[in-house]
């Protein structure tokens, strides 16, 4: 796979102009020249072989040579709803969710959350989605939704979705992932992970009352980003989507 660059508008003609950080990387880091070949993607599910026609100080004009529909997406819609961890762990979480094929990330606002999903943080994470997609070859971008509270998440989700919430307390009737994923008809899955301080009794009670499936990830207490990746990987490996 050659160098991949993201175009932030639909590629709908034979010529494309690359600007911003992508152009800067191509011009000043890769030292590209006229006639060089690169791969572009625009988040539509396609990628494009392109040839550099002209380089300016902060932009690159390219000729589209070939359009390829390359689908590396999972056969299900996989959503992760989670409070955000602190600092650089947010970026790490997004990188791994993208690599594993997650369709959507919903930042949660919870009672014990430490990090707030403010607009600046979400903007940085969206850039991480692009960078991770470039690296792993995905041609569709994982979506980052606007933050929701637990109540808002429960209200908007469909009962047709397989809705799973991670919680270490067996008193809430935790089921096994094997049992939940044995249903071959599940085409829409939402995995929910609490904050570093854990769910409050009220929050986990809301999920239970709405008939979400409570699962435990074992006897050890995992960091929230570890729990998120463990759940996603479990879904992917269970159904041989990797």
Per-residue pLDDT band for 3 (boundaries 50, 70, 90) equals confident
**216: its two tokens:** 């435990």
> How high is the pLDDT of residue 181?
66
Question: Between the CA of residue 32 and those of 3, 56, 167, what are the distances in Å?
Answer: 11, 11, 50
Per-residue pLDDT band for 1 (boundaries 50, 70, 90) equals low
What are 52's strand-pairing partners?
A: 62
- Mean per-residue pLDDT, 121-140: 94
Q: What per-residue string of b and e applies to 12-48 under the rule 16 or more CB within 10 Å gives b?
A: eeeebebeeebbbebbeeeebeeebebbbbbbeebbb
> How high is the pLDDT of residue 37?
94
CB 235 within 8 A of CB 181: yes
Quick check: 113 pLDDT over 70? yes
Quick check: 82 pLDDT over 50? yes
Per-residue pLDDT band for 242 (boundaries 50, 70, 90) equals very low
> What's the pLDDT tens digit per position in 186-227?
678 999 999 988 999 999 999 989 989 888 887 888 899 999
- Mean per-residue pLDDT, 70-85: 93
> What's the pLDDT tens digit per position in 142-180?
999 999 999 999 998 777 888 999 987 755 556 666 666
Going along the chain from its start, the domains and CATH numbers come out as 4-69 (2.40.240.20), 77-238 (3.40.1280.10)
> What's the pLDDT tens digit per position in 97-109?
999 999 999 999 9
Burial class (CB in 10 A: 0-12, 13-18, 19+), 80: buried
> How high is the pLDDT of residue 220?
84
> How high is the pLDDT of residue 184?
59
> How high is the pLDDT of residue 156?
85
The mean pLDDT of the chain is 89
- Least Cα distance to 131 among 141, 121, 122 occurs for 141
Per-residue pLDDT band for 68 (boundaries 50, 70, 90) equals very high
């Amino acid at each position: 796979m050659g160098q991949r660059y993201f175009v932030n508008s639909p590629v709908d003609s034979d010529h494309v102009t690359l600007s911003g950080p992508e152009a800067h990387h191509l011009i000043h880091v890769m030292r590209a020249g006229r006639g060089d070949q690169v791969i572009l993607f625009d988040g539509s599910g396609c990628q494009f072989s392109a040839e550099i026609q002209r380089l300016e100080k902060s932009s690159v004009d390219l000729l589209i040579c070939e359009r390829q529909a390359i689908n590396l997406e999972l056969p299900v819609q996989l959503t992760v709803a989670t409070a955000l961890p602190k600092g650089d762990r947010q970026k790490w979480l997004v990188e791994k969710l993208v690599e594993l094929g997650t369709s959507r990330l919903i930042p949660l606002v919870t009672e014990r959350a430490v990090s707030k999903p403010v607009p600046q943080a979400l903007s940085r994470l969206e850039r991480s989605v692009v960078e991770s997609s470039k690296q792993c070859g995905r041609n569709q971008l994982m979506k980052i939704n606007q933050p929701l509270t637990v109540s808002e998440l429960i209200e908007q989700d469909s009962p047709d979705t397989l809705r799973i919430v991670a919680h270490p307390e067996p008193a809430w009737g935790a089921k096994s992932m094997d049992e939940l994923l044995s249903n071959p008809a599940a085409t829409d899955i939402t995995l929910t992970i609490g904050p570093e301080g854990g769910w409050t009794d009220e929050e986990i009670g809301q999920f239970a009352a709405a008939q979400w499936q409570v699962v435990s990830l074992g006897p050890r207490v995992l960091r929230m980003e570890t729990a998120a990746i463990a759940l996603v990987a479990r879904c992917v490996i269970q159904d041989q989507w990797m």
